Amino acid sequence: MFQRTFSVILLALSPLSFSAFSAAGTPGDNPLPLLLTGTLQSADRQSVVAPMSDNWRVQVQWLQSESEPVTTGDLIAVFDAGNTQAQIEQLKSSVVNHEERLNQLTSEHKQSVMEAEYELNRRQLLLEKAGIDAGVPKENLSLYDYEQYQLEQKRARTEASKAAEQFAVARITAEAALTKQQLLIAQTQAELTDAEDLLSRMSVYATQDGNISYGNHPWYGTKIYAGVTAQPGWVIAELNRKDNLYIEAWVHETDLPRLQTAAALQARFDIAPDQPFAITLTELANQGEKRQSWGNALYYKASFSTAKLPLASPMLGMGMLIEVAQP
């Protein structure tokens, strides 16, 4: 009895189910539109990027509030400088010490060169005197005196040659020592410049007027906040102007043909779903990107424009639904 009743119910329902599936599965009969998630963006933006530091991570110490307007020159982000400030003070002290050492070496080697030059001049004078004595004719001297003068001339010539070598060595040693110290000063000053440049990158100032919007954590998708530890290169926040707005969306690689052949495009803000407005595709990326939190597929960045937004004071980053109607 139960089996017969169940068969009758199936026979009664089967025509309705078949017609419903046929209507839904027939190609070209009111196909469902492609739905995309978009956000309102500004073409004029300043990105706040986590800078390189003396560590592979850097902490965001402070961020300007998203609710407060920003003017050009305002401080909008501060990163933890770590040991950079202490390193700068140490390098400044090292530069002073190296410069004092350079002055000391300059004085010491100047004295050494002067002494070697004095000794060279003295030996040359002795060589001239010995040459005069050795130039006396042999007939005017005894054999002993003549031989003695000749020996003294050879000895004076040898001592003068040694003094010349010592003078040359003293000059080369002085130049090498001073050059080495100057290079040490230059190296320390370069390290100081790099440290000061790193410290300057730890404070980010606004280059335009606008409003700041915090970025999303690349791993978890949550909003970045003051106190978070980031890696160099992460987009911490963006400063956007309120004019020159556009809509940004990411399109799955399998949905790309449907967007390219769309018959009509319209969007509606999440906070105003009853106010749809027409939009136009203005730019589509030629190359897809992998979004780490979305899976292994490629996503293409698409930009849309509109003649007029339905909201009087839209906020950057507002989400919306984009409907891509098929021809």
Where are the domains positioned within the chain? 30-80+205-325, 84-201
pLDDT in the model for residue 4 = 39
Whole-model pTM? Answer: 0.52
Is the pLDDT at 15 greater than 70, yes or no?
no
Which pair of structure tokens corresponds to residue 172?
């080369």
pLDDT for 66 equals: 82
Grouping H, G, I as helix, E, B as strand and the rest as coil, residue 128 is: helix
User: Confidence band (pLDDT; 50, 70, 90) for 321?
Assistant: very high
Tell me the pLDDT tens digit for each residue of 229-287.
888 889 998 888 877 889 999 999 999 999 999 889 999 999 999 999 999 999 999 99
Token pair listed for 21 = 């599936």
- 115: part of which helix (H) or strand (E)? helix 84-134
Tell whether the model's pLDDT for residue 27 goes beyond 50. Answer: no
pLDDT score of 23? 34
Q: What mean pLDDT do residues 215-227 have?
A: 84
User: Please, what is the Cα angle at 14 between 10 and 17, to 5 degrees?
Assistant: 130
pLDDT for 31 equals 64
* Mean pLDDT on 135-147: 86
Which range in 56-65, 149-158, 312-321 is most confidently predicted, on average pLDDT?
149-158
pLDDT of residue 303: 95
pLDDT of residue 247: 93
For tokens 């002290």, the residue is 93
**What band does 176 get if pLDDT is binned at 50, 70 and 90?**
very high
Sign of CA dihedral 81, 82, 86, 90: negative
Give the dihedral sign, CA 108/113/116/121: negative
Average per-residue pLDDT in the chain? Answer: 84
pLDDT at residue 156 tops 70: yes
Work out the pLDDT band at 20, boundaries 50, 70, 90: very low
CA distance 34 to 255: 8
pLDDT for 6 beyond 70: no
Residue 219, pLDDT > 80, answer: yes
Highest mean pLDDT among 9-13, 102-106, 223-227, 286-290: 102-106
Return the CATH architecture of domain 30-80+205-325. Beta Barrel (2.40)
